[in-house]
Structure 1
Amino acid sequence: MQPDGEEVWNEIETQSFELAEQCIKTNYYGVRGMVEALTPLLQLSDSARIINVTSKLGLLKNIPNGRVKGLLNDVESLTGDRIDEILKEFLKDFKEGLLKTKGWPTQLSAYTVAKAAMNAYTRILAKRYPNFHANCVSPGYCKTDLSANTGYFTAAEGAEGAVRLALLPDGGPSGFCFLQKEMLTYF
């Protein structure tokens, strides 16, 4: 039997270290691993696209820690190793109960940090592979089992932004974050 939306949200909002670690592994390292596994195939394409699904929660304005925000926003010197260091620091602070003290988000903290890390990684990809189109998109708050069907958009409406990015002509934007169909000028 599938859990209902309320049970899912209760589990998501429960912030244990183990769940935070799992969230980071899924929402950042899972994406990164998949992209790295598929990159050799994408390099064979004349019009490679990487579209990472993000959330408005992953925008840097949701991370109070100014140093971390600055590091994730500095695409010129940002590396995958630097993101790894930031995530290790987050998990250490989480485990020690120092989220608020160290300037991390306190609500849905692991999800927020994982999505911010993924957004930054997407910008690294755009720089590393200039022939690719690497972007991230937030589908918005969609009516799904995860949201207990309380979202504003249908799943089909939420998917429109990702599909649109996948079908962009060559020469389109790369290294950007989109909120549905709107290209954001900030991360």
Structure 2
Amino acid sequence: MQRIPSESTRNELGSAETLSEEKLDAVAKRFLHDFKENALEANGWSTMLPAYSISKAIVNAYTRVLARKYPEMCINCVHPGYVDTDLNWHTGTMTVKEGARGPVMCALLPRGGSTGCYFDQTQVADF
């Protein structure tokens, strides 16, 4: 979320109570339109890895939609850290084993554990 300059878009994606699949679709369509029109910066989108940044923000927001829809499940999202993988041309500072700690921890949460949360590695963090 911090990569999105537009405060209104950050507020829209960050409002857990009013998020819906329809709102997330609308944000994605606005982004795609602005991308095609070369209007990202003018309309408050990130210009640093724009598609990656907005897709991650939308997936993370969708976590909250799903957690609200299925309260009996633990549905969270996890940033594993800057892991050394093919995706970043092996420039990451963490091993795959270190990066797996957060996702494994979330996968093993007990019934009734945290849901609708964003984890930065193994710690709950702000969206």
Find the partner of 1:167 among 96, 101, 108. 108
Corresponding residue SS for 1:101: helix
Query: How far apart, CA to CA, are the structure 2 residues paired with 1:144 and 1:62?
Result: 22
Find the partner of 2:5 among 28, 51, 64. 64
2:47 maps to 1:101: no
Question: What do the CA deviations read for 1:87-140 (whole angstroms, capped 9, x no partner)?
Answer: 000010011111111000001001000000001000111111110100000111
Equivalent residues, number: 127
Question: What do the CA deviations read for 1:53-112 (whole angstroms, capped 9, x no partner)?
Answer: xxxxxxx12111111111111111111011001100001001111111100000100100
Query: How far apart, CA to CA, are the structure 2 residues paired with 1:180 and 1:90?
Result: 28
Find the partner of 1:111 among 48, 52, 75. 52
1:121 is aligned to: 62
Note if contact 2:73-2:112 (Cα within 8 Å) is conserved in structure 1: no
Q: Which runs of 4+ in 1 moved over 6 A?
A: none
Counterparts of residues 26-37 of structure 1 (less than 5 Å): none
Q: Kindly state the Cα deviation for residue 156 of structure 1 after the two structures are TM-superposed.
A: 1.4
Corresponding residue SS for 2:42: coil
Q: Kindly state the Cα deviation for residue 150 of structure 1 after the two structures are TM-superposed.
A: 1.5
Q: Kindly state the Cα deviation for residue 159 of structure 1 after the two structures are TM-superposed.
A: 1.0
Residue identity matched to 1:106: T
Corresponding residue SS for 1:61: coil
Greater length-normalized contact order (CA 8 Å, ≥ 6 residues apart): 1
Give the TM-score normalised by the residue count of structure 1. Answer: 0.66
Give the TM-score normalised by the residue count of structure 2. Answer: 0.96
Find the structure with the greater CA-based Rg: 1
Unaligned regions of 5+ residues in structure 2, if any?
none
